[in-house]
Amino acid sequence: MISQDKISIPGLGKSVSRVALGTWAIGGWMWGGPDDDNAIRTIHSALDEGIDLIDTAPVYGFGHSEEVIGRALEGRRDKVVIATKVGLNWKDEKPFRDSSPARIRQEVEDSLRRLKTDYLDIYQVHWPDDKTPVAETASVLAELVKEGKVRTLGVSNYSVAQIETFRQHAPLSVLQPPYNLFERDIEKDILPYMVGHKLVGLGYGPLCRGLLAGKMTAETTFPATDLRSGDPKFQAPRFKQYLAAVEQLRALADKHGKSVMVLAIRWVLDQGPLIALWGARKPAQIEGVADVFGWHLSEADRAEIDRILKTTITDPVGPEFMAPPNR
């Protein structure tokens, strides 16, 4: 049970756990299909562990993740902060960016219905839409806040320039970038901006699509329906490089009596005002959350991590492959 290490999100009026449940895999799309019974048990296990923030999106299973969460939270809605997203449309299960005011108005009603709630705690633009001015997107979201349908706003995958433009037209509380030991581009600008403007980060992919869970081997393969079958990190020769890094990180984690998964999450939390989105679709995948809290990595630990990454990963690659196309 999580008993410590919470963070306050501006405008929300409450503190939340610094580990949140990420629910992309629960939607099934790109993760081998849904398993609703396990998904609901996973959500309940997360609540039992003290996780009180659940992050989702309409595109996760094209509404399915939100529907499952709505079912799982019946009778518990007031105990949980729900963060969902807006700004992706799809045709024939192929997503594309669409943050137009009309799309946002449609999406918010769809999300409220699927989640069985009359308000959203955190509403985040999933990806910037080159076809819609940021000012238009921000302005309609500001209207949703005034109408009480949304409590706080966030943006995901935005540049600093786009964030600045957004904030001229609507209040902003949360940034959601990709962030993990292997994908650290936000340290150049997004993370310093977050700290400087007292925003909270929801770091997605803290276990890097399972790489940092520490359970993969060189023989691990993925079906065509799995996101990782098209992820450059999981292709030769890079896959072996990343696995080698995980093995050395495991040795460091062992010194603390922790798993490599817990070390990876603790590292994210030690980097700034961040919440780590712990993705899971089975109750067993929640095990270990409590081990994240009550300790910190030392400067020597962080230096050793940097050394490991530099010496094992000679051909690093980011998460760019996941970006959906514009309209």
- Helix, strand, or coil (residue 17): strand
pLDDT digits (tens, 9 = 90+) for 231-277: 999 999 999 999 999 999 999 999 999 999 999 999 999 999 999 99
The count of other CB atoms within 10 Å of the CB of residue 223 is: 9
Q: What average pLDDT does this structure show over 93-110?
A: 95
Q: Which two tokens stand for residue 202?
A: 């929801």
Q: 76 pLDDT exceeds 60?
A: yes
Of all residues in the chain, the percent with pLDDT exceeding 70 is 97
pLDDT digits (tens, 9 = 90+) for 180-219: 999 999 999 999 999 999 999 999 999 999 999 999 999 9
pLDDT digits (tens, 9 = 90+) for 123-137: 999 999 999 999 999
Question: Would you mind telling me the total number of residues written for the chain in this entry?
Answer: 327
Domain 6-213+268-296: CATH superfamily, name plus number: NADP-dependent oxidoreductase domain (3.20.20.100)
Give the predicted TM-score (pTM) of the model: 0.94
Task: Give, in degrees to the nearest 5, the angle at Cα 46 between 200 and 319.
Answer: 50
Q: What average pLDDT does this structure show over 58-66?
A: 92
Confidence of residue 1 (pLDDT cuts 50, 70, 90): very low
Report the candidate in 161, 156, 121 with the shortest Cα–Cα distance to residue 323.
156
In angstroms, the CA 3 to CA 291 distance is 11
Does residue 60 carry a catalytic annotation? yes
Q: What average pLDDT does this structure show over 298-321?
A: 96
In angstroms, the CA 32 to CA 231 distance is 15
Which is the catalytic residue, given 60, 123, 158, 242? 60
Contact 152, 143 (CB under 8 A): no
Of all residues in the chain, the percent with pLDDT exceeding 90 is 84
HEC secondary structure over 247-312? HHHHHHHHHCCCCHHHHHHHHHHCCCCEEEEEECCCHHHHCCHHHHCCCCCCHHHHHHHHHHHHHH
